[in-house]
Amino acid sequence: MNGRVLIVAGSDSGGGAGIQADIKTVTALGGFAMTAVTAVTVQNTVGVTDVHAVPPAIVTAQIEAVMSDLGADVWKIGMMGSAAHVRAVMEAWYAFGGGAPVVLDPVMIAKGGASLLADDAVAVIRDELMPVAAIVTPNAPEAEALTGAPVRDLEGQRRAAEILVRKLGAYSALVKGGHVEGDIIRDVLLTREGERIFESPRIDTLATHGTGCTLASAIATHMALGEPMEVSVERARRYLMEAIRRAPGFGRGCQPLGHNWPLKLA
């Protein structure tokens, strides 16, 4: 494995989430990031004020250009926006993906509450994209939308993971617990081989912008570098927690992370 990660996601003008967070993460962890931009968002730490979707045909063309020349060891799929975008990415994966593992971060709602996914796209992700995902990484609200089951506690997370893997066909699922109340954050990883629950103390911070994008891209990078799934998740969580602790404190709202902390230690 060579550490090549193709990121299919939206752009964040504030630099804290989306494509920008993905590139920072992949680079900081020693991978090589490539992109297919699905949307341009107008946002900062306070919120999203506008979204301009990139035509699905242009998303497909970006993917084909990357895969025909550079190739990719892992695909990380984030914000797609519409059902047409989901289907375009699906078709591109079948046409050009070469069987590369997919890390699916089903981005639905921005930290500030803005919707980033059309209602009809949820069903397409659930029914068509989920079965090709090596891992899907929803937070609690996203897991509820995908499974129809409440995710308010650890048992709800475990039940959602079961549905995502056993019923909807993902190879593995990481149902995150950041939205679940409590001083300890628990993330439930379920694979075809078994379950593991990761625990971390909740950090009292404003630096939560882009945590989902960052975690999924960190998982994708470790996978692209040849690490097994459970190890990739464990190391990605460790990277994310330290990035939260080392956040630069920029902005008046949900602040960005300190993505470059490994480079400062080099």
Which residues are the active-site residues? 176, 208, 210-213
**Dist. CA 129–CA 61, nearest whole Å:** 19
Question: Which among 236, 137, 144 has a CA at the least distance from the CA of 188?
Answer: 137
Q: Is beta strand 48-53 parallel, antiparallel or unpaired with respect to 32-43?
A: antiparallel
**Dist. CA 27–CA 192, nearest whole Å:** 30
State the helix-helix crossing angle for 140-147 and 154-162, rounded to 10 degrees.
40
Q: Sign of the CA dihedral 212, 215, 218, 224?
A: negative
Q: Which helix (H) or strand (E) holds 40?
A: strand 32-43
**Dist. CA 102–CA 165, nearest whole Å:** 14
